[in-house]
A = this chain, B = another copy of it.
Amino acid sequence: MERKTASRRRGDELEQAILDAVWEEFQAVGFSKLTMEGVAKRAGTSKPVLYRRWSSPVDLMIACAANRIPKAESVPDTGSLRGDTIALLTLAHERMRMVGQTAMLSMLAQVSVDPEARKVLIEGIVVNLVKALSGTVYTRAIARGELAGEHLTERLTRLPIDLMRNEFILFGHVSEDAIESMLDEVILPALRARGAKV
């Protein structure tokens, strides 16, 4: 409620202001204490305005996350599949840390009882992340001749981010060592078995 006499916001301007407020509130009080009332207050608006758009704090958080995720981002080209995959895992890790373990789990928990929200989250974020990140890395490796494209399955494409997500969800952090073990003990052997020359 900072805007006593300021002008009344509408449409996208309002919506963006609310989603920004969600993020601030999330950073300030954490996900478990993220309430509609708190967000409304911080955004200088009221609950009904929020409820006209989203149906719960988790819904709000999902929209906020979708809003903040960079639309497209690329993994740096390090010259090799191994280097690129490390970069891929590191980037994915950063993305996850931005959201945080608790928020990620809460969003997933919510989504598990709401097929509609599931589409938004899973397809809108998870799948996109995989496509944008893993996609680049593998396309490049195929161009280099390190990888035979026709043997790349969906499972293998998802694998790096799946392993990272699992680790992050369980422990809340992922060490350098963990990344290396995923890479050298699982990902690369699995790729080699499908014809990767690395």
Residues of A within 8 A of B (CB): 30, 32, 101-102, 105-106, 108-109, 112-113, 122, 126, 153-156, 159, 162-163, 165-167, 169-170, 172, 181-182, 185-186, 189-190, 192-194
Contacts and interface: CB of A to CB of B under 8 A. Distances in A.
Given A153-B181, A165-B166, A186-B159, A112 B101 contact: yes
A112 B122 contact: no
B113 A186 contact: no
A169 B107 CA distance: 11
Contacts of A32: 113
Q: Which of A153, A162, A192 has the most CB of B within 10 A?
A: A162
- Contact residues of A: prevailing secondary structure: helix
A193 B192 CA distance: 9
Contacts of A172: 112
B170 A122 contact: yes
Contacts of A154: 181
Nearest to A161: B166
A40 B186 CA distance: 47
Contacts of A169: 108, 169
A105 to B, nearest CB: 4
B109 A105 contact: yes
7 contacts: A32-B113, A102-B112, A106-B109, A156-B185, A162-B167, A185-B193, A186-B186
Contacts of A109: 102, 105-106, 109
Contacts of A156: 185-186
